[in-house]
Structure 1
Amino acid sequence: MPSKVSALDMPDVPMGQLPEHLQMQRTRVVCKADAPIYTEGIQYSGAYASMGIDTSMGINNFCKNFKVEVVRLTKDEIEFDMIGIDASLANAFRRILIAEVPTIAIEKVFVVNNTSVIADEVLSHRLGLIPLDADPRLFEYLSENDIPNERNTIVYKLDVSCKKGSPRVTVKSDQLKWLPNGSELLMSSHENSAKAKNFTSFSCSQESLPEFSRKPLGVKYDDIILAKLGPGQAIELEAHAVKGIGKVHAKWSPVATTWYRMLPEVVLLKEVKGTDAEKLVKKCPVNVFDIEDLGNGDKKAVVSKPRACTLCRECIRGVNEELVELRRVKDHFIFTIESTGGYPPEELFVEAVKVLEEKCDRVISELS
């Protein structure tokens, strides 16, 4: 029968500090060869109260522990560490980034002429997925009862043809031209009719507005292939872009993708020397381990790049399970965001925080 262990049998630990094995269970996920252990997240706030440890989700504890550290920033991608939060909050930011941060995308396509091999609806779908170089924060949403105007709609025109006897023409996204004065098409088929109106109602040119005058409202990437025209074929259309969110349609998602993972922690439980060290280094496909020369022909394995660990578990299979331990830090997340172009990548996370703040305000107002 297993013996009972009382609090009196535990080694002396100062108040406000947990024993090593309990600290491991609270802050780490240990990845064994078959399955991870200590995977529980948030614990009961009084679980370690007798030891002077407060695990409650108070605002003071959050402000004290939460940190954001940027690791890598490029034109289209950002990688940063979020420290001091639970996985549920990290996942909330991920879901908001994918589905609730608004962008601008083409919603309506008015086809005047399309004699290419691509059907109208397929061409319209491809146009809707083109990332536009327009800041959605400068625009308003267009509801069913609103009239398209300079504050809620961007109009683009595509007019390309391939003359007979000419080589094939490749239609690319840079041939979409911005119409700052709005639609040029008439809703009535009788162009001379006094009642004929455009599909938009712009009170002024978007070029005259200070927020849009700094740069033209073009496309983010100029080399996206839309269609290929043979001799005698042509495409003429107008595309109207509006503001929306990703949970309505994926074309409004501001990210190509966004993901997070817990910070890897690779620990050598014993010194690994000689040929065993070389075998361990060769086992890892992402070069987490390296060889350190001790002199006199001796060498040992060291952990050089723990952050690169992908949890393939090759290093702990077989005899190495007693030598290496793979861990994940529960409150430290490596977060990566790939922008599609509507926002700079460093601004996307800030917009997600604003959306979450609005959600919290709504919940508080409902409760009060």
Structure 2
Amino acid sequence: MPTAWGPLTDEQLEERRIVGINAETVTHTSANDIPGHYGPQQDDTWDLDRFTEQLKVDFHQNEPYDAVFSLVGVDASIANAFRRILVAEVPTLAIEDVFVFNNTSIIQDEVLAHRLGLIPLTGGEEGLQWMRWFRKPPPKDDYAAQATFEEEGHDPSESVPSDYNTVVMTLDVECRWATTELDGRDGKALAKAGSTDPEERYVNTNVFARDLVFEPQGGQEKLFAGENRIRPTNPDILIAKLRPGQKIHVRVHCIKGIGADHAKFSPVATASYRLLPKIEIKEPILDADAKKFARCFPRGVIEIVDDAKTGRKKAVVKDTMKDTVSRECLRHPEFVDKVKLGRYRDHFIFSVESTGQIRSDELFLDSVRLLKAKSERFKRHLDDLEEGR
């Protein structure tokens, strides 16, 4: 324990970053960068300059709705805060109220409303940012909730549907028998007599998300014009199946909300992270053992190369990001003393898959802004407590 007599070396500091992966256990799961933990010579107090130097964000994949990036130099609590904010606190637009005028399908009204609510929507970014929250007032008989609603200072106009807080869409589809002539809606030749295919026998037998028609209100005509109109992210989502004589005619109101209120408002399909694996080969693994060692990992993690000194085949680590830390290599006695597995406790590989309303990279920036706002609000409360003493 030389740490009591002086600062930690670079090797020791690097070792503190590693979570140990053993055959049956996981060790060093808790961070130990606590001031005074390693003796008076080691300074572990939090420093802004040091934090800024260590903090890194590197994107590995940045598709519009599927991003993978590394967040390095933060504690697990901060990384998990970003993940929870992504899932539950970034506001998005979704269907909230469904007004059923006619529904003669076999799907009950409440089930139909639930299906419609779960359809992800998208539209012009500028218009979606312009839209405000729609605050539903509490029930009239809930006096405590009403008092809280008033104490929070909500504007009564927030509870009245208008063009800046509510989007209106209509679904009006009726199924009918097909004819042998061209159909005015589809513009294609329809079924011949005796056909058993529902797609040929009937018109509008399937109700898809693309059948939802956006009805702009007020200023929405400019903000959501053309390609910026409010529409389902995936137009091919199947809502219902109909038969001749059945009809669905509903009008829906879409409002902004957060995933903490309902999962339909969550802007992400998945938001997860994992720690970067570390594979350290302590002794050379050669020839047949090298091939066997490579098969213990997913394809692309271990590479077989020619050893310049011996001319033999040797296993080397190629890309640890592809590793799933299966610990398969530790099941073979010949590898137990030759390899050491671990994970970097401060290197998080994030995967953010957007539902289509907000780009994945923008979602992460939104989570940073929200965490910053929460921190500033908490700091103001602390200042108020200090002043009240």
Q: TM-score, normalised by structure 1?
A: 0.85
Residue 299 of structure 1 corresponds to 313
For the 8 Å contact 2:281–2:339, the answer to whether it is kept is yes
**Range with bigger deviation, 41-50 or 232-241:** 41-50
Question: 1:1-368 residue pairs with structure 2 within 5 A?
Answer: 16-18=7-9, 20=11, 22-48=12-38, 50-51=40-41, 53-134=42-123, 135=125, 136-143=128-135, 144=137, 145=156, 146-164=159-177, 166-167=201-202, 169-181=205-217, 204-208=218-222, 211-213=223-225, 215-294=228-307, 298-319=312-333, 320-368=335-383
**Range with bigger deviation, 168-177 or 244-253:** 168-177
1:330 partner SS = strand
What is the distance in 1 between the residues matched to 2:79 and 2:301?
A: 26
For the 8 Å contact 1:41–1:87, the answer to whether it is kept is no
Report percent identity of matched pairs: 39
What is the distance in 1 between the residues matched to 2:303 and 2:328?
A: 15
Q: By how many angstroms is 1:7 displaced? A: 6.4
Amino acid in structure 1 at the alignment position of 2:67: I
Listed one character per residue, the Cα deviations across residues 11-61 of structure 1 (whole Å, up to 9, x for unaligned) are: xxxx654263x335421112111111121125312334644x432233222
1:113 partner SS = strand
For the 8 Å contact 2:298–2:322, the answer to whether it is kept is no
2:45 partner SS = coil
For the 8 Å contact 1:102–1:253, the answer to whether it is kept is yes
CA 1:6–1:297 in structure 2 vs 1: closer, same or farther (change >3 Å)? closer
2:13 partner SS = helix
Amino acid in structure 2 at the alignment position of 1:228: K
For the 8 Å contact 1:42–1:86, the answer to whether it is kept is no
Amino acid in structure 1 at the alignment position of 2:373: E
Q: By how many angstroms is 1:315 displaced? A: 1.3
What is the distance in 1 between the residues matched to 2:340 and 2:3?
A: 28
Listed one character per residue, the Cα deviations across residues 315-368 of structure 1 (whole Å, up to 9, x for unaligned) are: 122311111111111111111100001201110000001111111011100000
2:224 partner SS = coil
Amino acid in structure 2 at the alignment position of 1:179: E
What is the distance in 2 between the residues matched to 1:239 and 1:367?
A: 43
1:45 partner SS = coil
What is the distance in 2 between the residues matched to 1:17 and 1:105?
A: 53
Q: By how many angstroms is 1:164 displaced? A: 4.0
Aligned length: 333
CA 1:180–1:280 in structure 2 vs 1: closer, same or farther (change >3 Å)? same
Listed one character per residue, the Cα deviations across residues 217-265 of structure 1 (whole Å, up to 9, x for unaligned) are: 2221111111111111110000100000001000000000111111111
What is the distance in 1 between the residues matched to 2:45 and 2:355?
A: 38
Q: TM-score, normalised by structure 2?
A: 0.81
For the 8 Å contact 2:3–2:39, the answer to whether it is kept is no
Q: Where do 5+ consecutive residues of structure 2 fail to align?
A: 138-155, 179-200, 384-389
Listed one character per residue, the Cα deviations across residues 295-320 of structure 1 (whole Å, up to 9, x for unaligned) are: 78621111112111101100122311
What is the distance in 2 between the residues matched to 1:223 and 1:178?
A: 16
Q: By how many angstroms is 1:63 displaced? A: 1.6
Residue 198 of structure 1 corresponds to none
